[in-house]
Structure 1
């Protein structure tokens, strides 16, 4: 038996774009580009027919 691990990083925020590491709240919203990235990822996951058994979310 093997385990497949899929890592997904958050999409773009205004702080990321301005290269301000951790300069804002930990729960900063995605900007328009980040939202497009999230939708594109969702479509990729749908096309790949991936199923996730466990979700782990790390917040700083």
Structure 2
């Protein structure tokens, strides 16, 4: 039973270390995307699709 407590303690410590490493990486800008905004302007025409203009139907009697 004591092995379970030791493994549980070690796993929580490892999880906390990885969480702290993740927070440090996010704060330092590790996951900031600097490439996509510079390329997005080249492909903007393909991303924006205009809806076809609908004309109002007139009553033709």
TM-score by length of 1: 0.34
Greater relative CO (CA pairs within 8 A, separation 6+): 1
More helix by proportion, 1 or 2? 2
Q: Which has the higher Rg, Structure 1 or Structure 2? A: 2
Taking structure 2 as the reference length, what is the TM-score of the superposition?
A: 0.33
